[in-house]
Chain A
Amino acid sequence: MEQLIIAGVLLIVGYGFGNYLETRHYKYIRLREKRLINKPSVNLRSAPLENKEVISSELAIGSTVVSVDYFKRFLAGLRLVFGGRLTSYESLLDRARREALLRMKESVKNADIYLNVRIETSSISKGRNEKSVGSIEAVAYSTAVKFKEVS
């Protein structure tokens, strides 16, 4: 019975806090994405120059670590039995990738375009011990290119 109560409380707390933090994070992500929408990031190796002169290029890198709440872990645990899409983890990965991309752009603020963008995701916790945490790290890196301004 005690276990049932603990699990129930953790589910409610996990859902409440997880939902609140996710909504707040998405709001913040969208705000910054709008602000940086004119700074494209592409996975092309060479720049679509259109006769523009490159005056600087440097490595832009951004990374983030996001953890999942108890409710989503619980849901994912159930999914492990039946299989199917792990929908509860989709937003976790989405947030991590987008946050890493934004941080990458913010690392070189004066760039005009971010070329050869790569995103890598890794699990922070592996193994099955009691203290493992369901969190992921997303790293985004690219070549930040600054064009010469045409007067």
Chain B
Amino acid sequence: MKVKQIDTEEHNQNVSNVNHFKEILILVSSIFGFVIFLYWASIFAVDKIVDGLTPELETRLFNIMEKYPTKNDDTASNNNPKFIKAKKVLNSLVEHSSLKGQSYRLKIIPGKDINAFALPGNTILIVNELLERIETENELAMVLGHELGHFHHKHHLKNMGRQFVMGFFSMVIFGDNNPVSKFFLGGLDYTEKSFNREQESDCDIYGAGLVVKKYSHLAGAFGFFERLKKGEGVLHKYFSTHPISEDRINKVKSFALANGFSITGELTPLEPRPDSL
């Protein structure tokens, strides 16, 4: 018997001659279409559920937050004059808002970010750095009013629902260790950031409304944004969850102009004036 070895150079039947780029394009488009459809359908459902959630039910559901206090030392916070002031301003703003009758917890968390968070369970977290940079009571009211805006629009619950949906989709469809999930999560994260920026603008308007109700003018409400503007780079608007400060200032000014609110007036200092003591 004659044994002949096959030369595989001419044709390799074990490897398909396919264009992997074309294959990846078709598969990615199909998955994107399918996932986006399901994702938005789920988001719509989550938003509807959140809209129907009463404040009482929310408080009951998220009372668990009380059992897990933040790492900060409450005693130290209570001795911080800015924190004490913030609590007073917050309570006063709540009385002027659509959230009247509800109680909100304010906590300081350590950190260098200039940020504050509205969390389920009527909790507002302020990063220490933000509190340190605030110079007037009007600025403080704008920041707290903005956070109350998140509660008014139920953004804290909607965002939580969205994050749950995102995580669920990623895990169920791709598994937790699939490179595809990183890619899709990145894409969804980008769309979420644009959604967050819209939310932040809505809250700025809500916060500005509360500041006007409390002080009868919007003077000082932009001071904080003016200082933030200086530290923002060109790419800030693409990577941040918040709109660029210039846009925020312009939107609030347009809101003031449209409603006839004054943007000038007397600023209230954080510390009481010596002559008023």
List residues of A whose CB falls within 8 A of some B CB. 1-8, 10-11, 30, 33-34, 36-42, 48, 50, 70-75, 77-82, 85, 87-88, 90-91, 93-94, 98, 113, 128-130, 132
8 Å CB interface, B1-50 against A: 1, 3-5, 7-9, 12, 14-16, 18, 20, 23-24, 27-28, 30-31
Binds A, one of B87-95, B96-104, B179-187, B210-218: B179-187
Which residues of A are found within 8 Å of B8, using beta-carbon distances? 30, 33, 98
Question: A87 contacts B16, CB within 8 Å?
Answer: yes
B7 to chain A: closest residue by CB = A37
- Number of A-B residue pairs, CB cutoff 8 Å, is 103
Q: Does B259 contact A (CB under 8 A)?
A: no
Which residues of A are found within 8 Å of B15, using beta-carbon distances? 87, 90-91, 94
Once A1-B239, A4-B186, A90-B15 are accepted as A-B contacts, the answer to whether A74 and B180 lie under 8 Å apart by CB is: yes
> What is the number of residues of chain B that contact chain A, defined by CB distance less than 8 Å?
37
A7 CA to B5 CA, complexed, in Å: 43
A73 CA to B182 CA, complexed, in Å: 13
A72 CA to B15 CA, complexed, in Å: 14
Shortest beta-carbon distance from B36 to chain A in Å: 14
Q: Does B176 contact A (CB under 8 A)?
A: yes
Shortest beta-carbon distance from B59 to chain A in Å: 35
Question: B20 contacts A132, CB within 8 Å?
Answer: no
Contacting B20 at CB < 8 Å: which of A36, A42, A71?
A71
Question: B179 contacts A1, CB within 8 Å?
Answer: no
Which residues of A are found within 8 Å of B23, using beta-carbon distances? 75, 87-88
Once A33-B8, A37-B5, A70-B179 are accepted as A-B contacts, the answer to whether A82 and B30 lie under 8 Å apart by CB is: yes
8 Å CB interface, B171-215 against A: 173-180, 182-183, 185-187, 189-190, 193
15 A-B pairs whose Cβ atoms sit less than 8 Å apart in the complex: A4-B189, A4-B190, A30-B8, A30-B9, A33-B8, A40-B4, A48-B1, A50-B1, A72-B20, A74-B180, A75-B20, A82-B30, A85-B16, A94-B15, A98-B8
List residues of B whose CB falls within 8 A of some A CB. 1, 3-5, 7-9, 12, 14-16, 18, 20, 23-24, 27-28, 30-31, 173-180, 182-183, 185-187, 189-190, 193, 238-239
Question: Of residues B7, B15, B175, B238, which shows the largest number of chain A Cβ atoms within 10 Å of its Cβ?
Answer: B15
